[in-house]
Chain A
Amino acid sequence: MVVPLISIILLAPLASFAIFALLGLAKRNFPRQDYLSTFAMLVALGCSLLLIQEVTSEPTPLTVEWLSLGSVNFSMGFYLDSVTVIMLIVVTLVSSLVHIFSIGYMHGDPRYSRFFAFLSLFSFSMLFLVVSDNLLGIYIGWELVGLCSYLLIGFWFEKDTAANACKKAFLTTRVGDVGMFIGMMMLFAEFRTLSLYGDTGIFEAVATLESGQIAWLSIAGILIFCGAVGKSAQVPLHTWLPDAMEGPTPVSALIHAATMVAAGVYLVARMFPILTPTSSLVIAYVGGITALVAATIAIVRFDIKRVLAYSTISQLGYMMLAIGAGSYVAGLFHLTTHAFFKALLFLGSGSVIHAFHAMHAHHDDAEHTEDAAHEHADNSLVHEHGSEIPPDQDMRNMGGLRRKMPLTFITMLIATLSISGVPFVFSGFWSKDKILGGVLGRAMEWNSVHHYILFAMALIAAGITAFYMFRLIFMTFFGEPRNQEMHDMAHESPWVMVVPLIVLAVLSFPVVNTLWFNKDYIEPPPQHHIPAPQHAYVSPDSKIGDANFGFSLFGVSTAQAAEEDAGPDTAQADDAYHIHHRAHNIAMVLSICVAGLGILLSWLFYHRRRFSAEGVATTFRPVYNLFWNKYYFDEFYDGVLVALTVWKSRLFAKFDLSFIDGIVNGVGKITRDIFAAFIGFFDNRVVDGFVNRVAEVTWAAGGRIRKIQTGAIQTYLFVVLGGIVLIILIFRLF
């Protein structure tokens, strides 16, 4: 059943896109591309749910030979384990909901059909990435989602900001992808395969390496991680994601929050067995720094979508940190909970934007003509970074919307409570707590300063997250309307948009999520090059997952549940287990404290107005400027890197034109002159009519060719033909 099901999952969305593309060649449209795409996605969702039953304890890759070169072969295939199935369900579920939401949101867009076709293509690519059993297949899906992201960010390509943003997204992620490709080349050079699983796969080969041989493996791991840095918008390649908000909001929800950007985390999780202590630490630190940097930038944004974008970056950093610190299950758990609540937040913001849209469309006409008047072609690779916020996304125009849009408000509030880590009731709390507990557990177990630092970073980021998320809620839904005109226009969105919000809100409660964290459903793959305790204890990570699950549902204490389930085998494992258990308790208390503090401060600042945000900004001007200017990453890239590249390309082109071609033309001229002199020499010194004759003929022929008319060419052709025949005949006579 597995192969047919996966095939349907992949082919349904692909077929939907193919229909659009083929009809497009004939300049036609399928009448209801929206229903077609949505239907395809629902079919894929159904099949994904059926796959839950099919996961076996010993997953085997299902492969076909894709490329055979004699000595080296590349195979393509599927690998289905519990993580794959969870990812399939997350992707198809969020994608289905986004499809449905878009039926309302994109209504009336001139390229309505195209939008759904692109969503289909994206879903196919993402699903292909998820089920691939080898690095090459993952890379193919990886780049294809990048293409779809490009197409969808630039969906409203008439806007220069959108046209810039899609290019930036593609190029920035490509920088990371090249790193990933180099990592793949390293693995290929060593193991002569890009398959991951099975007896001949990379993971098996890695297991046999001696500990002295893993220095290069660390480098390969970090290089592969570069791909994830690009795709999951980790520092320093994160700058494309906020700009990607130029795409339609459903796209932001699906691609730039829930699925594609999480693919980087998925990749690192997939590559878990090849990680070494060094590469793990690098991953964890990049994740931690990203979580902090993005969170601090989010505090000062006013564009509702940008706040969410930076929040996404920050949360992705969290997941990376988790996996880098060895908390495999926690990282993936957070990936799924985040997918739901962040998609909900984006769709909710879409609902708000939609509410303001009638107003905006009004303004738009006036701007439009103005835009058309000025020079539109952007002639440089460097652009201004629009601090221009569209009025319908500016939180300073919002306020008091909770009465106007009650359903949007309640669902978004649920998501906010979840992401902020409000305890016990919301899924976000559990996944975040698992990460914090996992990192602290490792710190205590190994007595590692690095992991204590990482824990501190994660904890601070958690507090900031609670702060800026509630800032968003307070500014948008509470208080008095700041822009009365726009407020009057606002309205609750139609049902087709609200229903997906409600479904996602339900998914933000742990009841649903824990279904997947069934006992023994997820087992972290072994890491062969990370020191001992990891092996010795019976993966407390997953057990504690179960414990939390039990806790949340039945009110059983963590300790009890854990002890019942775990049954540690050895004394050492027992130790490690207890350390982790204690770590989780400490982490839980701390995380509740920072979340509460964040929410409290936000409430004081933005609801009760006890403190003035402007006042604080003035007091800490340099810090505020740093956050406001996004740590100057964009300025550095555009001003230095892009400018250098363009300068270099112009230099090369100039070199080509003046120097190389100059030499060529020079040689040509000299040759001609020498020949002329040479002929002149003969002319003067050697009284030989023959040479003169030759020269005359040559020059005459030259003149002829220059003036040649098309009529003459036919003659020429006959001459050539005759010549060939003549040559053949002459040679035959020899």
Chain B
Amino acid sequence: MLLSLMIFVPLLGMIVVLLLPRESEELIKRATLAFTLVPLVLAVVLFVSYDRSSAGTQYFVNVPWIDAFNINYHIGIDGLSVTLLLLTALLGPICVLASWRNIEKGLKAYMALFLLLETGMLGFFAALDLFLFFVFFELTLLPMYFLIGVWGGPRREYAAIKFFLYTLFGSVLMLVAMIAVYLNSNVINGVAEGVRTFDIPTLITLAGTTGHALADSTFQMWVFLGFFIGFAVKVPIFPFHTWLPDAHVEAPTAISVILAGVLLKMGTYGIVRINMAMFPEGLAIFTNGVGFWGNSLALLGFINIVYGSFCALAQTDFKKLVAYSSIGHMGFVILGLAAGNSAGINGAILQMFNHGVISAMLFLLVGVLYDRAHHREINGFGGIATKMPVYTGITTLAFMASLGLPGLSGFVGEALSLLGAFQEFELITILSTIGIVVGAAYFLWTLQRVFLGQLNPKYEDLPEINKREILTLVPLGILTIVLGIWPNFALDMFSESVTNLVNVLDAI
């Protein structure tokens, strides 16, 4: 019940907001804030009360929804989903606060769409029925399209359509794979018997049953690919990544935060939840280290890391730089997942969470500067550290966390992913460490060009970061430090689940 409440409170909030008069903007903002704070409180409750010693699904609800197709409203959480739910719920109010002053038109619709988006995201991470999973996945797409397309920058339409079509392309493949799985879900030894199902835990069991159609390795390979491409677009994995820089550059600050903080994680979450757990045989074909295809997933991770980092180095738009850095950092997730061992997967999941927190900070920080200077040209600043010492301090923290400075959260996930990957793919991992150096290079170079040196006379009167903005950054900053010092705080949540997953993978 708690879980359902958490998912649908924002939807309720959307209805409430829509019923409020358009003119009472303060009221709309406060209502939205309140409706995003409720899921946060619930997420914290879930996070704390989740039984860490057991890896199984908890807080599940399973009621029939569409009987004709045996579709159920089946939700529940394990350590992985509760971690990402917490991340999503945390970013909700932060994004509302970040949208407090800079949404100039249609505030009501903006907030309503945002709440709808939040329901979609929360539902996605809790869904345990493949159909429900897909519905929530699609539910995030529409609000996102409008949020970018209406409230975005000058090229918002192009960016929004690109985002929409890319994701749609991926989800069509996903849909096909999903239907294939559904149709085969009752075929054992070539004979169809019993009812078909969309139920994820059931499907996982079936896919591990010898003789079941779902357990066939060729079948697994193809559905693996279908799902994988769908998720790869979201992550995004090279070469499906070009929607990301455009979407980020055009999207308003808060939407960039959600995009980088949560939406990208939907891709990697899907890979863990569906691709790895359900199709280990399919996964093995791409990660067993034999030949080109056996290294392909790790190679994709490597390409993301190096390609993303180098592209970031060349950017002169602050936001685009951060966007490309996301591509690079998500590469570590892919690399860790490809390793398929305890260190790798744990590191990858930790990196998902940490990247969510850190990239959210980065986009908020870019937003702070943009709201003041109305441009994001890295070379157009200079020396603003003298004018904005607090802002500079927080930015340095976020940059350092992002470039993987030990003691801050970014390091732990990255290091574990690499440690895990090295055991399986030595050369690829060694080559991937290039990304660590380049990552430091683009962040420090940016730091220098924007903050250090003589103050650009244009910015003599630049106001320091204000209290509301600090408030949006502080919780994320604290998480960055806490998780850097005490990573077990998050790792404890999912390490049991990961152990189970690793056992399944090892059995192949």
Report which A residues bind B (CB closer than 8 A). Answer: 21, 24-25, 27, 65-72, 136, 139-140, 142-144, 147, 150-151, 154, 157-158, 160, 162-164, 167, 170-171, 174-175, 178, 181-182, 184-186, 188-189, 371-372, 376-379, 381, 645-646, 648-650, 652-654, 656, 660-661, 664, 668, 705-706, 708, 710-711, 713-714, 716-718, 720-721, 728, 731-732, 734
> Which residues of A have CB within 8 Å of B452?
154, 157-158, 162-163
Q: Report the bound CA distance from A139 to B112 in whole Å.
A: 47
Contact call A645/B438, Cβ cutoff below 8 A:
yes
Contact call B67/A734, Cβ cutoff below 8 A:
yes
Residue in B18, B396, B486 whose CB lies within 8 Å of A714? B18
Contact call B390/A67, Cβ cutoff below 8 A:
no
Query: Which A residue's beta carbon lies closest to that of B151?
Result: A710
**Smallest CB–CB gap between B344 and chain A, Å?**
10
Contact call B488/A381, Cβ cutoff below 8 A:
no
Which 9 A-B residue pairs are closest in the complex by CB-CB distance?
A: A710-B106, A653-B314, A734-B68, A649-B313, A376-B454, A731-B66, A163-B452, A140-B406, A157-B452
> Which residues of B have CB within 8 Å of A710?
105-106, 109-110, 150
Q: Report the bound CA distance from A708 to B464 in whole Å.
A: 37
**What are 18 of the A-B contact pairs (CB < 8 Å)?**
A68-B495, A70-B499, A140-B411, A158-B452, A171-B440, A181-B418, A185-B418, A371-B454, A376-B453, A645-B313, A656-B311, A664-B243, A710-B106, A711-B109, A713-B150, A714-B18, A721-B15, A731-B68
> Which residues of A have CB within 8 Å of B106?
710-711, 713
Q: Report the bound CA distance from A649 to B325 in whole Å.
A: 13
> Which residues of A have CB within 8 Å of B454?
158, 160, 371-372, 376
Contact call B498/A664, Cβ cutoff below 8 A:
no
Residue in B314, B343, B429, B474 whose CB lies within 8 Å of A25? B474
Q: Report the bound CA distance from A356 to B410 in whole Å.
A: 45
Chain B contacts with A in 83-139, Cβ cutoff 8 A: 105-106, 108-110, 112-113, 116
> Which residues of B have CB within 8 Å of A174?
436-437, 440
New contact pairs (8) apart from A144-B407, A376-B454, CB-CB < 8 Å: A71-B499, A140-B411, A174-B436, A376-B383, A377-B456, A646-B313, A710-B110, A734-B68
Tell whether B58 is near chain A: CB-to-CB under 8 Å. Answer: no
Contact call A188/B419, Cβ cutoff below 8 A:
yes
- Per-residue CB contact flags for chain B residues 457-489 toward chain A (1 = under 8 Å, else 0) read 100000010000010001000000000001110
Contact call A69/B242, Cβ cutoff below 8 A:
no
Query: Which A residue's beta carbon lies closest to that of B160?
Result: A705
Contact call A163/B448, Cβ cutoff below 8 A:
yes
**Smallest CB–CB gap between B440 and chain A, Å?**
5
Known: A69-B343, A652-B311, A713-B109. A167 touches B18 (CB 8 A): no
Tell whether B40 is near chain A: CB-to-CB under 8 Å. Answer: no
Contact call B451/A157, Cβ cutoff below 8 A:
yes
Contact call B150/A377, Cβ cutoff below 8 A:
no
Contact call A381/B390, Cβ cutoff below 8 A:
no
Q: Report the bound CA distance from A143 to B470 in whole Å.
A: 27
Total CB contacts across the A-B interface at under 8 A: 216
Contact call B491/A67, Cβ cutoff below 8 A:
yes
Query: Which B residue's beta carbon lies closest to that of A664?
Result: B242
Q: Report the bound CA distance from A664 to B474 in whole Å.
A: 39
**Smallest CB–CB gap between B151 and chain A, Å?**
9
**Smallest CB–CB gap between A354 and chain B, Å?**
24
Q: Report the bound CA distance from A181 to B421 in whole Å.
A: 13
Q: Report the bound CA distance from A633 to B255 in whole Å.
A: 46
Q: Report the bound CA distance from A354 to B354 in whole Å.
A: 45
Known: A69-B346, A181-B418, A731-B66. A379 touches B379 (CB 8 A): yes
Q: Report the bound CA distance from A174 to B474 in whole Å.
A: 28
Contact call B474/A656, Cβ cutoff below 8 A:
no
> Which residues of A have CB within 8 Å of B65?
728, 731
Known: A67-B412, A182-B433, A371-B454. A24 touches B393 (CB 8 A): yes
Q: Report the bound CA distance from A175 to B393 in whole Å.
A: 25
Residue in A71, A649, A653 whose CB lies within 8 Å of B342? A71
Q: Report the bound CA distance from A69 to B307 in whole Å.
A: 30
Residue in B400, B447, B464, B488 whose CB lies within 8 Å of A27? B464
Chain B contacts with A in 48-105, Cβ cutoff 8 A: 65-68, 71, 105
Tell whether B423 is near chain A: CB-to-CB under 8 Å. Answer: yes
Contact call A378/B315, Cβ cutoff below 8 A:
no
Contact call A72/B343, Cβ cutoff below 8 A:
yes
Tell whether B196 is near chain A: CB-to-CB under 8 Å. Answer: no
> Which residues of B have CB within 8 Å of A732?
66-67
Residue in B18, B239, B385, B488 whose CB lies within 8 Å of A66? B488
Q: Report the bound CA distance from A731 to B315 in whole Å.
A: 50
> Which residues of B have CB within 8 Å of A157?
383, 385, 451-453
**Smallest CB–CB gap between B449 and chain A, Å?**
6
Known: A143-B405, A713-B150. A372 touches B457 (CB 8 A): yes
**Smallest CB–CB gap between B64 and chain A, Å?**
9
> Which residues of A have CB within 8 Å of B487?
66-67
Contact call A182/B430, Cβ cutoff below 8 A:
yes
**Smallest CB–CB gap between B485 and chain A, Å?**
9
Contact call A650/B314, Cβ cutoff below 8 A:
yes
Contact call A24/B390, Cβ cutoff below 8 A:
yes
> Which residues of B have CB within 8 Å of A708?
146, 149-150
Contact call A376/B456, Cβ cutoff below 8 A:
yes
Q: Report the bound CA distance from A660 to B237 in whole Å.
A: 13
**Smallest CB–CB gap between B131 and chain A, Å?**
10
Query: Which A residue's beta carbon lies closest to that of B166?
Result: A664
Query: Which B residue's beta carbon lies closest to that of A654?
Result: B314
Contact call B386/A158, Cβ cutoff below 8 A:
yes
Contact call A717/B419, Cβ cutoff below 8 A:
no
Tell whether B212 is near chain A: CB-to-CB under 8 Å. Answer: no
Tell whether B142 is near chain A: CB-to-CB under 8 Å. Answer: yes
> Which residues of B have CB within 8 Å of A381?
441, 445
Q: Report the bound CA distance from A136 to B414 in whole Å.
A: 13
Tell whether B10 is near chain A: CB-to-CB under 8 Å. Answer: no
Contact call A170/B109, Cβ cutoff below 8 A:
no
Contact call B491/A68, Cβ cutoff below 8 A:
yes
Q: Report the bound CA distance from A189 to B420 in whole Å.
A: 8
Known: A158-B386, A163-B453, A377-B453. A140 touches B311 (CB 8 A): no
Q: Report the bound CA distance from A68 to B346 in whole Å.
A: 10
Known: A67-B491, A70-B496, A372-B454. A185 touches B314 (CB 8 A): no
> Which residues of B have CB within 8 Å of A184?
419
Query: Which B residue's beta carbon lies closest to that of A169?
Result: B444
Q: Report the bound CA distance from A652 to B310 in whole Å.
A: 7
Known: A157-B385, A720-B116. A72 touches B342 (CB 8 A): yes
Contact call B389/A649, Cβ cutoff below 8 A:
no
**Smallest CB–CB gap between A485 and chain B, Å?**
28
Residue in A68, A139, A162, A705 whose CB lies within 8 Å of B406? A139
Q: Report the bound CA distance from A510 to B71 in whole Å.
A: 83
Contact call A377/B15, Cβ cutoff below 8 A:
no
Contact call A144/B406, Cβ cutoff below 8 A:
yes
> Which residues of B have CB within 8 Å of A376?
382-383, 453-456
Query: Which B residue's beta carbon lies closest to that of A663?
Result: B239
Chain B contacts with A in 350-389, Cβ cutoff 8 A: 379-383, 385-386, 389
Query: Which B residue's beta carbon lies closest to that of A170?
Result: B444
